[in-house]
Amino acid sequence: MTTAAWAMLAVTWAVISFFTIKFFVAVLRTPPSDDRD
Amino acid sequence: MAGNAVGLGNFLRFPAQAVQNGGGAFLVPYLVSFLLMGIPLLWVEWAIGRHGGRYGHHSAPGMLDRLGPHRWLKYVGVFGLFTNLTVAAYYCYIESWTLAYVFHSLTSTFRDVLPTEFFPAYLGMEEGSIFAVPGEAMLWFLATLALNVWLLSRGLARGIELAAKIGMPLLFLFGAVLAVRGLMLEPGADTGVVQSPLTGLNFVWQPQLGGLLDPSTWLAAAGQIFFTLSVGMGSIHCYAAYLRHEQDIALNAASAGWMNEFVEVILGGTILIPIATAYLGLEVVQAATAGGSGFSLGFLTLPTLFNHWGWFAPFAGAMWFGLLFFAGITSSLAMGQPLVAFLEDELHWKHERATLTFGAATLALGFVCVWLYPGGAFDEFDFWSGTFGLVAFALGEAIIFAWIFGMDRGWEEITRGADMRVPGFFRYVIQYVTPLVILVVFVGALVEPVGRWGAAVGSVFRGEGWPFSSTSVIGRVLHVGDDAYRWVDDSGELTRAFVQDATRLLLLAVFLFLTYLVWKAWRLREQVDK
């Protein structure tokens, strides 16, 4: 693997992981809509 | 919803598309497409779906009809029926391959037969023939389709989605194990390994900006994003139609979209290509995916890896293909629901009749893919329905939502009841950037020339006409570059070109018939209103 390929892989994985975890945690923390009625 | 979005596209289609379109050259347009088209369109489709659901519509024609006063809006929604039906036809066939591979893994078929020999024989491929009558493949296809129709008719799709909550994490976990094991393969140390798996990974991740200037690569990238997110299909609309007026759509859509990308890029992109490269070599992998959908790559290579796992091999194969089947069926069930909902809502059919009709239509179209697989019918379905159709529908709905429904109402629809703060700049992205980018990709792919665009314009001024590339949409239709183009060869046999044209005409006929059904439904409604 070239340095450029490693760099692109690392940046892409980091960005995707960050947003996936961020939104997944937000969903888990949000009470089901039935509880808010 | 992530369970519905994660499917065979993540693990089988994405790696093949990446290899087919130049690896690193594909990835940049793919990631840009996700940010500028995928995420905004997820919000747009959830909003259109929830809005349409308020008026009792659960399919795209009725939902789009409610976005403005124009009578033609509902006909754009025909795409939301067409893509679901025609993608389901070949998708169920792939789903049936995974089921067959569960059986053959458990019976240790791959100990005696190489998957590279087994798979073409399973599909009934014969040298020089455009037809196939694969008895076993047809049986598995029938079983898969029957299961889909039965689950739909019994209203058990929700149950499957609940079961997916257990199945999906298992699939991700097993996928991670496969990825790590695949990357540890070494030529010389592991039997059958011909090249380092990192060569394949490097091919995918080596940045190549050349892809940014190639409209065909953009069309393939946008098509893959839409396929994997189920955008441009009408199934998200159907799902969102059951939400309440104030229920969140923003966080649900964002979460499903990013989760899907995690599975596709991080897991899907690290399993198949490195393993296939290790066992077949990068050149063979590129040849295996050239010109088609590339769905077959996983079936040609992964059993070879499992074969090296000793007593665990049958279980590993059964578990992997079983979990893939599970991921696939959640998606194919979602594809069935919009057409069933259309027949129920707009034509007032009973649920059983609607699901059986969907099953019969999928069966008929699916058998075209089965019998004419060697002639390229399957790949034609994947291009015209699974790429072109999705992008065309996405373009239509993006323009209608932003410019006919209006961004003020559109933004209010997206943000109402939101469990997250949607960044304000996405309002402008949805209004200007997304429609414009899709339009550029669409038109670019339609008329992509051979060579540079400037030279093509010069060619027009010289009176030589526009030099369509053979990979452009119009170039495909006109069979540009196919000097031996004809329907019947010298020996009187039908050719591959005949299968391509016949499949395209069939798909056009399906689209026109669905358009007629929409026309008929609204005519019936007008008569009732009078």
| Token pair 């006919």: residue | B404
Q: Per-residue pLDDT tens for B52-109? A: 999 999 999 999 999 999 999 999 999 999 999 999 999 999 999 999 999 999 999 9
Over residues B518-526, mean pLDDT: 94
Q: Per-residue pLDDT tens for B161-208? A: 666 777 788 888 988 998 998 899 999 888 888 999 999 999 999 998
Tokens of B390: 């999705």
Over residues A1-29, mean pLDDT: 95
Q: Is the pLDDT of residue A35 over 70?
A: no
Q: Which amino acid is at B359?
A: G
Comparing CB atoms, the residue among B31, B201, B258 nearest residue A23 is B258
Q: Is the pLDDT of residue B297 over 90?
A: no
Which residues face B449 on adjacent strands? B468
Q: Contacts of residue B266 in chain A, CB cutoff 8 Å?
A: 13, 16-17
Comparing CB atoms, the residue among A4, A12, A17 nearest residue B206 is A4
Nearest CA in chain B to A10: B205
How far apart, in whole angstroms, are the C-alpha atoms of residue B381 and residue B386? 7
Query: What local confidence, expressed as pLDDT, does residue B102 receive?
Result: 95
Question: From the CA of A5, how many Å to the nearest CA of chain B?
Answer: 4
Q: Is the pLDDT of residue A36 over 70?
A: no
Sorting pLDDT into bands at 50, 70 and 90, what band is B157?
low
Sorting pLDDT into bands at 50, 70 and 90, what band is B456?
very high
Mean pLDDT of chain B: 92
Tokens of B140: 């598995």
Q: Where are the alpha helices (DSSP H) in B184-281?
A: 197-205, 215-229, 235-240, 250-261, 269-280
Bigger pLDDT: A3 vs B172: A3
Q: Is the pLDDT of residue B2 over 70?
A: no
Give, in degrees to the nearest 5, the angle at Cα B228 between B165 and B103. Answer: 60
Q: How far is CA B354 from the centre of its chain?
A: 23
How far apart, in whole angstroms, are the C-alpha atoms of residue B47 and residue B241? 9
Q: What percent of chain B has pLDDT over 70?
A: 97
Q: Contacts of residue A27 in chain B, CB cutoff 8 Å?
A: 251-252, 255, 419
Count A/B contacts: CB-CB distance under 8 Å: 65
Residue B471: phi and psi, rounded to 5, are -90, -10
Query: What local confidence, expressed as pLDDT, does residue B155 receive?
Result: 76
Answer whether A30 touches B (CB < 8 Å).
yes
How far apart, in whole angstroms, are the C-alpha atoms of residue B378 and residue B500? 10
Sorting pLDDT into bands at 50, 70 and 90, what band is B154?
confident
Q: Contacts of residue B202 in chain A, CB cutoff 8 Å?
A: 1-2, 5
Q: DSSP label at B207? A: -
Query: What local confidence, expressed as pLDDT, does residue B251 receive?
Result: 96
Distances (CA, A) of B483 to B110, B203, B447, B478, B486: 41, 32, 20, 11, 9
Count Cβ neighbours within 10 Å for each residue of B269-286 and write b for 16 or more, e otherwise.
bbbbbbbbbbbbbbebbb
Answer whether A33 touches B (CB < 8 Å).
yes
Q: Is the pLDDT of residue B35 over 60?
A: yes
Query: What local confidence, expressed as pLDDT, does residue B425 receive?
Result: 95
How far apart, in whole angstroms, are the C-alpha atoms of residue B496 and residue B290? 16
How far apart, in whole angstroms, are the C-alpha atoms of residue B190 and residue B183? 12
Instruction: Convert B394-429 into a string of H (helix), E (strand) and C (coil).
Output: HHHHHHHHHHHHHHHHHHHHHHCCCCCCCCCHHHHH
Over residues B117-146, mean pLDDT: 94
Global pTM exceeds 0.90: yes
Distances (CA, A) of B100 to B13, B107, B109, B172, B276: 19, 11, 11, 21, 20
Q: DSSP label at B127? A: T
Query: What local confidence, expressed as pLDDT, does residue A37 receive?
Result: 46
Query: What local confidence, expressed as pLDDT, does residue B184 receive?
Result: 92
Q: DSSP label at B54? A: T
Contact B31 A12 (CB under 8 A): yes
Over residues B136-142, mean pLDDT: 97
Q: Is the pLDDT of residue B144 over 50?
A: yes
- Ranking B7-21, B23-37, B288-302 by mean pLDDT, the lowest is B288-302
Answer whether B131 touches A (CB < 8 Å).
no
Q: Per-residue pLDDT tens for B418-452? A: 999 999 999 999 999 999 999 998 998 899 998 88
How far apart, in whole angstroms, are the C-alpha atoms of residue B80 and residue B371? 26
Query: What local confidence, expressed as pLDDT, does residue B289 receive?
Result: 82
ipTM above 0.85, yes or no: yes
Q: Is the pLDDT of residue B309 over 90?
A: no
